[in-house]
Structure 1
Amino acid sequence: MKLNWNRSLVLSGAGLLVLGFTGGAGAMALTRPTVEMAPTVPTAIAKLTGSRGVVSVRGRVAEVYGDRFVVADSSGRALVDAGRKGVDMQRGSSILVQGRFENGQLHARYLIDASGTVQEVGPRGPHSLGEAPPPHGPGGPPPPPAGGPNAPPQACTMPLPPPPCGAGAPPPPVKTAATAIN
C-alpha cells in the first residue's frame, strides 16, 4: 500500500502534535508542587518533634508575639510562626493550626478558629504566598542610592575644567561704542 505525499505529511504533523502535547503534560507534572493534605486528627504537641510533613495541632492560644504565638494543649506548648502577613490572635482562643513542624516551631499554613473560619497564612520569606517576584535587570527597580534611602543627593563629582591661561587664552571682551549703548 502506497501513501500519497499529503497523507504522510498530515500523519507526521499529527504525530508531532501528539508528541508535543505528551511532552508538555509531562513537563507540567514534573514542575508542579506536590499536594499535601493535612491530617484530620490533630497531633499532640508533645509528639511534634517526631513528626514529618504536614501536621495539625489543636489547642488554645497561650501567648502572642506579633506574627508568632504559642499554642498549648494538654501535652505541651509550641511556638507557631504565622508568616509575614501576621494574624490577629486573642489569648485564650481555641485554634487549629495546620503546617510543618521544623526547627522547634510550627510553621503555619492554615489557621482554623472555633467558628470554622479558615485563614491562609504562610511561611516567612519573600514570594511565599504566590506573589510574583519583583523584576530584576532591565525594567526592574533602580538600585538604592549610595548612603541609604535618606542620604542627601550627591553633588556633581566631576572637577571643573581649569581656566585657560597663557598665549592660548582668548582676549577679554572689548567695549565698543556699539556695545556701550546697548
Structure 2
Amino acid sequence: MTTPNTDNVIDGTAREIPPGDARTETAAPKSGHRRGLVVGALAIPLALGAVGLSLAQRGEASLDPVAPVAISALAPSGAVAAKGEVAEIFGNKLIIQDGTGRALVETGREGEGGTLAKKGETITVQGRFENGFLHARLLTHGDGSVVRLGPAGGPPPGGLDWARDKVGLGPQADVPALTKSVEAAGYTDLRVAGRGPRHLEVAAKGSDGRERLLHVGFDGKIREVRAY
C-alpha cells in the first residue's frame, strides 16, 4: 500500500479571483479537463467490469455433455459419464450404483461437506475416469440442476492475466475453430473436458482407436498429454 503524500493537500477554502489573472483563467479549463480524464478513467474499468462478467463467463469453454454409460462399461477416459443411485457418502467421495455395478466418485474440494448429493437419489456424474475413480467435473441431479466441480479454468487467481480474464480481456477460445483443427489432425469423438490459461483440454480418439487427452492451445497447436 502506498503512503499518501501529505504535501499535496487540496485546500477547499473559497478565495476571490483577481480579475485579469491570466494564470488562474487558463488553469481552470485544465482542471476541468483533468477531472474529466479522471472520471473517464474510473468509468472505463467500471463499464468493463459490468460487461466483462458476462464475457468472462462466455470465455470459459463449456464442458461437452457426455451420454452416460453403464457403470460396468466405465473405462479409462478423459471425459466419460455414468448415472446411478447414491449408495454411500464418505466426505467428498460417493459410491453410485446401477444394475451393472458400483463406481467410486471423487468430488474434490467442493464435496468435502458431503452435501452435493443425498443418499438414495439418482445422479449423473461426468468427468475423468482413472485408476478406478470417476473424478467428477459435472454432477447432474434428477431435477436437471447441474453442479460444476473442480477448477473453472483460466489463469491462476490474483495475477494480471487473471484480472484481464475476469473483465473479458483475456485470450478467448474459438472452440469451433479449434475443434476443426483437431479433427483435421485425424482425431474423432471430440469432447471438451476442461480449460487452462491458454488451452483447452480435449478428450478424443486417435486414428488407432485409442483415446487421448489433448492439450489444444488457443493458437491451434495440439499436444497429446495422455493416452488411455
Q: TM-score, normalised by structure 2?
A: 0.38
Structure number, greater radius of gyration? 1
Q: TM-score, normalised by structure 1?
A: 0.47
Q: As a proportion of its length, which structure holds more helix?
A: 2
Q: As a proportion of its length, which structure holds more strand?
A: 2
